[in-house]
Structure formats: C-alpha cells, structure tokens
Chain A
Amino acid sequence: MLLIACPYCGERDETEFHYGGQAHVAYPADPEALSDAEWGEYLFVRANPKGPFAERWSHAAGCRRWFNMLRDTATHQILAVYPAGQPCPSAAQTGSVIA
C-alpha cells in the first residue's frame, strides 16, 4: 500500500487517490502544425521508465485536487510530491537519477 502525502491534506492511503499518468506532458503549442506521426506520439506515447517517473495524481476521495509525484516504478519509493505547475524536482533535490 502506498502512503501518499497529498500536498494539501497530508498522508493518506493510495485508495483515496486516482492516477493520472505521466506529468509535464504539454499540449502542442501549435496543433495545426503537427504531422500525423507527431499527433500519434502526443496522444499515445508516454514515458514508461523502470525507475523515477514524474506522474499526476488526484486526491479523488479527499480535496479532489491534482498534484504531481516523483515515484520510482521499480521500488515504489516516493521521491517527491509537488503541486501541479511546479517543475519536476531535480536529481540533486531528490538524491536520485531521473530517467
């Protein structure tokens, strides 16, 4: 069981949360300019690292707010939790290498 520290409510069981996949995926700046391959990439391709992964979570059964989390997908260790809109904490801050 993951114990996730919502930035707004504190530590709660993973069952209170909803997963939102990879964080920091920006909507294309100039959508009209994208080729089919680029659209396919934007819609369907996400990072899938074995190791640190920046991802989105929502505290669905609590404050209902979205935030970001850096988690190691091999060990399930939570390396950082930070509000949406903030940049991903650097390797130096978390003491790990971000894939």
Chain B
Amino acid sequence: MPEHLPEHPDWLWRTPNPKRSYDVVIVGAGGHGLATAYYLARNHGVTNVAVLERGWLAGGNMARNTTIIRSNYLCEESAALYEHALKLWEGMPEELDYDFLFSQRGVLNLAHTLQDVREGTRRVNANRLGGVDAEWLDPDQVREFCPIVNTSPDVRHPVLGATLQRRAGIAKHDHVAWALARKADAYGVDLIQGCEVTGFLRDGDGDRVVGVQTSRGPIAAGTVALAAAGHTSVLAGMVGLRLPLQSHPLQALVSELLEPVHPTVVMSNHVHVYVSQAHKGELVMGAGVDAYNGYGQRGSFPMIEHQMAAALELFPIFARAHVLRTWGGIVDVTPDASPIIGPTPIGNLHLNCGWGTGGFKATPASGWVYAHSIATGAPHPLAEPFALERFTTGALIDEHGAAAVAH
C-alpha cells in the first residue's frame, strides 16, 4: 500500500463546451455515469458521448460514500453483479493506470442474535455456492481478526459471530472517479460540469426522447442515459415517468486522524453502525437512511446519536475520539433494495438508478452492464433481472437482508 495519496489531478480531463449533438448523453457524472462513459468507449467503441453534471464531477454520492466494497449479497442475481464488480476492481488500478488505494482488508458483518447467525451462515453458504469467497467466524475468531471489537458476552448486544469476506475492502472514492474521468476523456468523451438537465427534447409523438434541455442550452442525443442517483425521480418526472423510487438522506461521519487501530471493515446491521479506518487515519462511520424522504444533503441528529451509541458499544476504544465532520447524500431506494437497470417505456431513454445505500461497490459493474445495454440495445445478462418490469411481474430481488444498511 502506498504511503502517500496521489496529488490532486487538475489536469486529468478537458473542460469542453457542449456540442450540439451526441450519440449518447449521460446525465450525472457520479461514479456510475463516468464508468458508463468509460466502458462505452473501451468495450463498445462509442466515443461521441457527453456526461452532463449539474454540480462538479463526482460531487454527489460518489464524494459522500464510505467506500465499502464487497460482493457477499444473498440473492444469486445480486451476488453475480457485485462479484463482477469486485473482479473489475481487482484489475482497475492497473487498467486505469491510476492508484486509488484499493485495499482488500476484508469486511466483517457481525451477528448479534440467533436470527443474525442464521442469516449470516445462510449467506456464507449461498456465497460459496455462487463462487463468492465467504467465511463464518465465531466470536474468538472475530477478536483475532479485529482485536478492537468488544466480544465480551456481557454487553447488551453480544457478538455471536460474523461473516467475513476477505477480498472485500475500501478504495479512495475521489481517485476512482478521477481515474475513470481521465480515461473517458482520453477516449474523447466530453465531461461537462455545471450543466443541469432541466427537461427532455421529445419527438413529434412524444414517445421518444431525442435530447435534453440544459442550463447551457439544448443538446440532441441518440440515447439519453440517466445516472442521477437520488435525483432520478425528479428527472423522470420531467417526462411523466413515475418510478418505484424513494429518495432518502444517508449520512456518514469521520473522526479526527488516529494511529492505525482498525484493521478491517466492521458492519453491524443489528446495532446499526459500520466502521472502517481511512488510509489517512480517520475512523469512517455510517448507519442507515433517515426514515423519511428528503432531498436536503444532510442527515438528522438522531441518526448520529444512534450510530455513535452503537459504535461505542462495539468499540469501547473509540470513547475519546472526536467527530471531525458529518455530511449526507441523497440515495434512491427501491422496494426490493436492488437497482433498476435498462430501458424505460419511453424510447431512447435508459435508466440506471435505485442503488440506494450500496452503489459505490458496484461502480465498475454498473458502468459495464449499462454501457452494454446502451450500445447493443439488449440488456447485459447480469443486468437482465434488474429491469424495471420486475415491479410488474413480481420477480423482485429482495436484498433487504444483505444490503447491510437498513432502508
């Protein structure tokens, strides 16, 4: 692992003015929009592409997430998609020729009740059958792997065991975005910041989109691909499309810088906190979404109180750590806690949303499969089960249990 962070890369991409027309316009320059642009160029040779971002590049959830990467989901469809992502992560620093400090330090998902133990062991078995690495640890093994976890049986929610995925870990999110942006730019993709999509251009009948209206004028497009995370409902509303999405604030916080004390990522659904230690030394913590809908990019105080109480019970060693900073993002949550990827009932309009609290880990796979469906007009096999139709057919991919953050 390198000692120092790479320098801030101002020079990594051009800042072009929008052209009048593109083959593909991607709305949202978060990780998913950038990865989609990158794979459109790399895998499909589609380079007449613009990524439009109303704020600054990767300043949405991409800059706000707690960077946990893992693929130990329960349902086959999700495990396959997230495992595809993890394999891509493993090769990406070399492929993108950019160090984003991908650290496979493992993820522990703690169990505190008999039901947690059953869920965890079931998921370990399901993962192994699906070719995803997974282990079950008893409390002594948890203590060995992460000595600062309080495994005493005398606490309110004793640790009864944990799942461990050793290949899981964290990465430096900003650098992931910059690395993808640099390569997409090198392929000729226009990354346009400060350009808000305010409407859609439709053809005569109105059943197809032919471009977008933006704060910098109209831009024609063969295909419009949404990658706008928490604001997808707002955009879809502009073409009268109602989606099974609810937007919620999700917040995180970091402590001051500390000596390396925390060797892995620890998540607990039951007491509801997750903690890792960033490369610089901050403890990075998060919890669940605020229960109510919201678009203000901040979370509520009760969530902070709740997660701090949980963190202190699990890690008594943190009692004197100071909170340095808290922030929130807006995540779009679906009824089955799984993403929606694919075409919409409106011609030329594609959808990639609903990643909720866990889409960072999917970034490369999300871009990979989305680029495939945009370029070929047919869903990638990994994305097929995640189509919008599942809310009509009832073939839901219910990942509430393994999503690891309550929504």
Q: Total contacts A to B, CB within 8 angstroms?
A: 62
Partner among B234, B244, B247, B300 whose Cβ is within 8 Å of the Cβ of A45: B244
Is B295 touching A74 in the complex (CB atoms < 8 A)? yes
Taken together as a complex, chains A and B put the C-alpha atoms of A39 and B394 apart, in Å, by: 10
**Any chain A CB within 8 A of the CB of B11?**
no
**Any chain A CB within 8 A of the CB of B117?**
no
In the complex, per-residue mask of B302-338: 1 if CB is within 8 Å of any chain A CB, else 0: 1000000000000000000000000000000001000
| Nearest B residue to A15, CB-CB | B302
Contacts of A64 in B (CB 8 A): none
**Any chain A CB within 8 A of the CB of B246?**
yes
Is A44 touching B335 in the complex (CB atoms < 8 A)? yes
Is A48 touching B292 in the complex (CB atoms < 8 A)? no
Contacts of B295 in A (CB 8 A): 50, 73-74
Is B233 touching A48 in the complex (CB atoms < 8 A)? yes
Which residues between 4 and 36 of chain B lie within 8 Å of chain A, taking CB atoms? none
Is B246 touching A48 in the complex (CB atoms < 8 A)? yes
**Any chain A CB within 8 A of the CB of B392?**
yes
Is B302 touching A1 in the complex (CB atoms < 8 A)? yes
Contacts of B294 in A (CB 8 A): 73-74, 76
Taken together as a complex, chains A and B put the C-alpha atoms of A48 and B241 apart, in Å, by: 12
**With A1-B302, A15-B302, A19-B291 known to touch, is A45 a contact of B296 (CB < 8 Å)?**
no
Is B391 touching A44 in the complex (CB atoms < 8 A)? yes
Taken together as a complex, chains A and B put the C-alpha atoms of A21 and B333 apart, in Å, by: 13
Is A50 touching B392 in the complex (CB atoms < 8 A)? no
Taken together as a complex, chains A and B put the C-alpha atoms of A21 and B301 apart, in Å, by: 20
| Nearest B residue to A13, CB-CB | B302
B residues near A (Cβ < 8 Å) are: 231, 233-234, 237, 242-247, 291-296, 300-302, 335, 391-394
A residues near B (Cβ < 8 Å) are: 1-2, 13-15, 18-19, 21, 36-37, 39-41, 43-50, 53, 55, 71, 73-76
